[in-house]
Chains A and B, each alone.
Chain A
Amino acid sequence: MSHPVNDPHLLTLSVNDAEHEVVVEPRRTLADVLRHDLRLTGTHVGCEHGVCGACTVLIDGAPARACLVFAVQAEGADVRTVESLARDGELSDLQQAFGDHHALQCGFCTPGFLMLAEGVLAEQPDASREDIREALSANLCRCTGYQTIVDAVHATACSRRGTNA
């Protein structure tokens, strides 16, 4: 496939188990396509240079910065956003834990932390509280001071593996 640099491409993206056809310029980021073409605005953009993590989504199960990925690069991959977490109107255990621990204030960083945490919990199901803290240091939150986010993810890790926090 060779296209002139700015010519729009027709892509098929798999997002949250649904196939979407979109026509995008090659320079369009996955974050922009999710937010503005697919109107999945739960994925947020805080820096557009790969540091804050507000745009974190799962690509084939691994956390990725949607602001650093071009939409064309995500073709053929399984993309998951925060909109996929709740099922039938029920919050997931992780979302519930965030609420219980007051792990969100303004909520702007929250989708990114939720997706990062899902990736971390899948990769390291036995993570200790300190492991979790270390892994969550990939993202920025300006409101909470992080403690309650670490608590929420640790509580979820413990309940998923059937131990007490």
Chain B
Amino acid sequence: MTTTDLPDHSVPHEAADPDRPVHGGHEHSPDEPRFDGRRGRWVGASVPRREDPRLLTGRGRFVDDIALPGMLHAGFVRATVAHAHLTALDLSATRAVPGVVAAFDAADLALGDIVAILDRPAEEFTPTAMPVLARSKVRFVGEPLALVVASDPYAVEDGIEAAQVSYDVLDAVTSAEGALAAGAAVVHEEAPDNVLLDVSMFDTPGVDEAFADADVTVEVTTRSGRQNALPLETRGAVAAWDARDDQLLVQTCTQVPHQVRTVLARSLGIPERTVRVTVPDMGGGFGQKCVVGREEIAVAAAARRLDRPVKWIEDRREALTAGFLAREQTYRTRAAFDADGHITALDVDVVCDMGAYSCYPFTAGIEPLMASAEMPSVYRVPAYRVRGRAITSTKAPTAPYRGVSRPQYVMAIERVMERAARALDLDPVEVRRRNVITEFPYTGINGVTYDPGTYRESLDLAEATIREEGWYEARERGRQDGGRHLGIGFCCFSERTGYGSEAFAKRKMTVVPGFDISEIRMDTTGSVVVTSGTMNHGQSHETTFAQIVADRLGLDPEHVKLRQGDTERISYGWGTFASRSVTIGGSAVALASERLGELLCRIAAHLLETRPENVALDGDGGVVQLDDPSRRLPFADIADVAHLRAHLLPKDVDPTLTATASFDVPGDGTFSNATHAVVVEADPGTGQVRILRYVCVEDCGVVVHPQVVEGQCRGGIAQGIAGALFEEVTYDAQGEPSAASFIDYLVPTATEIPDVSIAHLETPCAFTANGAKGAGEGGTIGAPAAVLNAVNDALRHTGVELDTTPIHPGTVLDALEGTS
């Protein structure tokens, strides 16, 4: 699907180059102090991935690869109706199935609920509880009711089938409109109006006046379908009680091991020290695994109860129907513009259908609060009003999914720009140019201070690329001869990455996932183990964190091993989400490495009998004496003294070589940015949309590993295209999900996802310890709006305006029919 009749579609690929000037970005003056190891030998190089050899040879260890002696298997009896009182749950036939060892319902396990709250008044937020197993009421098809444990997974299935469940069925609530309608069935008694969050975060002076004075007012209602983040590895856990350690060992595929430990200990009512959570290799997560799942708690409780290891592996049907979902949002946006195309006010009503429960720790407020806080996007908006609501319905609950609301609010404001351009008869890129933030730091109407980025530069470069490749002419030719319906779409956006404690606290979260911690240890041979509270699940941390350490210490990355995903190795950590790993976790790793470097220098100076100022790391695995470079101590020699001959250490230095550091992003944090440009061809006869060209110009600050950043971009864009053109979880009137297999949930393959050309701009972040900004989510954010804009451009002559994703061929045909 990437064929084109244009010969050259390469975008200049510019890898991180310390000497290359940054387009209009924040440049360091020569005398400005700069971190030594910020971009040394390793950071900026696409070194071979440390993860690859084991993953390529089938020697990775994923959760379902774990087998423990005496291990039992578990599965869940799940609700088959969307909304009902549970009148009977009879597990006697289940318990009689050969191979079944035990079956537990909510009363049997008596676990504490999962409760996520915000520090907001009752009129803004209604706390609701998510029981580990449903007690008296079910709220979505797939909700876990009971746990069946058996000697093998086939017997588990037989046991689940034998369970007898009866319901007193209630009306399903299957849309936000339905939830808000008078007389709607009530999902949670605590929230009789089905509203879990209703916050008007901004109503700045001058909104109504701006609309009254506007030359052009644009109104647009954008919607995006419910989507599944869909890691290819489904969720799963293996739990076992270890009597010797007096500890429950839970091996689970989670992005947030410490949060699982905290919630698990509280739910089971046991001290947190008696729970250890470890994470093996993970087959993706994308946010779906960054909240605590009720299943992992139930499985741990069963293992403790039975004193046997218990494994649960979610099957695809469960993953599609009962896994955490996201993205079902509606934005009613009004925007006022003056005659020159400057936006003068923005007024937005955001409604997010969060499904049956509030996720931990983010709550059901995550999507509307994200949208409300960030909505003005990359534009200078002088007046802003927003209302954000989280609605509860009888659908599978939601979790943050890659991009979290940003694909949606960006789509809303980018549709505004396009419509304003039409109303003002201006080029859509030009309207963006007139409004985009160009001076930094910039404090927006939303009170957020944006650090330097390349908003305008990325837009210019993306447009120039499309223009130089001849796509504008190709579009015109198609329009004139009526042959091809080509459309060009842009999306310019920024993305706050690596939220620190301050930024999350501003959202009134009571559990504030901001900082991260790193510990580094050098062994007697001069090799280091570094620990981080972040959690790799495909992002290549073993490689990139080793590069960061290597540069800070002047040590080959071969000698650096990253350990993550073990709550025993580090006191607390927040895991991986919100593009926080390299920015926050990587900064902690950098700082810990620096501290270890200082310690090595201090010991070396003592051993070389010189002043501490007279030594430095030599960049080659040792410490050198500055006034006599022939005098040098390799790390192994220093490490040997620190451990095995500690009597030779300076009096004020403790034995062994360890250092720890924590890092938190100050203030409003940092923003990555990008512009995506897409060329599509629409077929008005079939409604088919084909992507002919995809260009991404991105700026995520210092690039640690160009190949990895590009991989994140491309993978993110593929998921964004999936949301734009393919995937949607729909429900019928009874609340039955339509897609229970990959036959019905359309995941794009290699023939639907185009090649993507990527150009890097680089504005180093001023306050992360490594200059990086975060690259995990941007691709997903930009794609839906860019594709939607391109489709609308292709259909421009028909009068059709589409503002809803996914755009299926049927959507296009229906719209064309509506206008004819």
Q: Which residues of A contact B (CB under 8 A)?
A: 25, 27-28, 32, 35-36, 39-49, 51-52, 54, 81-83, 85-86, 91, 95, 98-100, 102, 104-111, 114, 130, 133-134, 136-150
Contact = CB atoms under 8 A, between A and B. Distances in A.
A130 B538 CA distance: 27
A44 B154 contact: no
Contacts of B231: 106, 108, 142
B56 interface: yes
Nearest to A39: B67
B476 interface: no
B328 interface: no
B715 A47 contact: no
Given A27-B154, A48-B315, A51-B741, A106 B233 contact: yes
Nearest to B56: A95
Nearest to B706: A102
Contacts of B527: none
Nearest to B720: A145
Given A27-B154, A99-B53, 15 more contacts: A25-B154, A44-B233, A48-B316, A83-B58, A99-B56, A104-B56, A106-B538, A108-B283, A108-B284, A110-B56, A133-B751, A142-B284, A142-B286, A145-B779, A147-B755
A150 B56 contact: no
A107 B49 CA distance: 12
A133 B752 CA distance: 10
Contacts of B315: 48
Nearest to A104: B55
Contact of B65 (A32, A41, A149): A41
28 contacts: A35-B65, A40-B58, A41-B58, A42-B58, A46-B232, A46-B316, A47-B316, A49-B316, A49-B743, A51-B741, A54-B232, A82-B56, A85-B57, A91-B56, A99-B48, A102-B49, A107-B55, A107-B538, A130-B3, A134-B750, A137-B750, A137-B751, A140-B747, A143-B538, A145-B716, A147-B714, A147-B753, A149-B750
Q: Which 4 A-B pairs have the closest CB atoms?
A: A42-B58, A108-B283, A107-B55, A106-B538
B711 A148 contact: yes
B58 A43 contact: yes
Q: Does more than half of chain B's interface fall in helix, strand or loop, or is it mixed?
A: loop
A105 B540 contact: yes
B51 interface: yes
A145 B2 CA distance: 13
Contacts of B717: 145
Contacts of A83: 57-58
A140 B51 contact: no
A105 B56 contact: no
A48 B279 CA distance: 23
Interface of B: 3, 46, 48-49, 51-53, 55-62, 64-65, 67, 153-154, 230-234, 281-284, 286, 315-316, 537-540, 707-708, 710-711, 714-719, 741-743, 747, 749-753, 755-756, 779
A7 B301 CA distance: 33
A51 B540 CA distance: 27
A81 B55 contact: no
Contacts of B154: 25, 27-28
A148 B713 CA distance: 12
Contacts of A52: 232, 316, 742
Nearest to B281: A107
A140 B319 CA distance: 16
A105 B711 contact: yes
B749 A106 contact: no
Contacts of B711: 102, 105, 143-144, 148
Contact of B715 (A35, A44, A114, A143): A143
B284 A145 contact: no
Contacts of A98: 52, 56
Given A44-B233, A142-B230, A36 B67 contact: yes
Interface centre among A36, A40, A104, A106 (most CB of B within 10 A): A106
B742 A99 contact: no
B58 A111 contact: yes
Nearest to A136: B750
Contacts of B61: 41
Nearest to A91: B56
A144 B642 CA distance: 44
A106 B58 contact: no
Contacts of A46: 232-234, 283, 316
A67 to B, nearest CB: 10
A145 B232 CA distance: 13
A83 B55 CA distance: 11
A52 B742 CA distance: 8
Contacts of A144: 711, 714-715, 718
A82 B54 CA distance: 11
Contacts of B232: 44, 46, 52, 54, 106, 108-109, 140-143
Nearest to B719: A142
Contacts of B48: 99-100
Contacts of B755: 147
Nearest to A99: B52
A111 B232 CA distance: 13
A82 B58 contact: yes
B57 A95 contact: yes
Contacts of B751: 133-134, 137
A41 B66 CA distance: 9
A82 B67 CA distance: 20
B472 to A, nearest CB: 25
Contact of A145 (B3, B281, B753): B753
B707 A107 contact: no
A154 B252 CA distance: 36
Contacts of B749: 136-140, 146
A142 B723 CA distance: 13
Contacts of A82: 56-58
Nearest to B779: A145
B714 A44 contact: no
Contacts of B57: 42, 82-83, 85-86, 91, 95
A111 B750 CA distance: 16
Contacts of A106: 231-233, 281-284, 537-538
B53 A91 contact: yes
A150 B751 CA distance: 10
B301 to A, nearest CB: 24
A104 B446 CA distance: 39
A45 B64 contact: yes
B52 A104 contact: yes
B708 A102 contact: yes
B53 to A, nearest CB: 7
Nearest to A41: B65
A105 B742 CA distance: 22
Contacts of B539: 105
A110 B539 CA distance: 15
Given A46-B233, A134-B751, A107 B708 contact: no
A49 B741 contact: yes
A51 to B, nearest CB: 4
Contacts of B58: 40-43, 81-83, 111
Contacts of B537: 106
Contacts of A85: 56-57
B540 A107 contact: no
Contacts of A27: 154
Nearest to A86: B57
Interface centre among B46, B67, B538 (most CB of A within 10 A): B538
Interface centre among A25, A109, A144 (most CB of B within 10 A): A144
Nearest to A147: B755
A98 B232 CA distance: 18
Nearest to B710: A102
Interface centre among A48, A134, A143 (most CB of B within 10 A): A143
Contacts of A51: 741-743
Contact of A147 (B233, B286, B756): B756
B714 A108 contact: no
B687 to A, nearest CB: 21
Contacts of A35: 64-65
Contact of A105 (B46, B538, B747, B752): B538
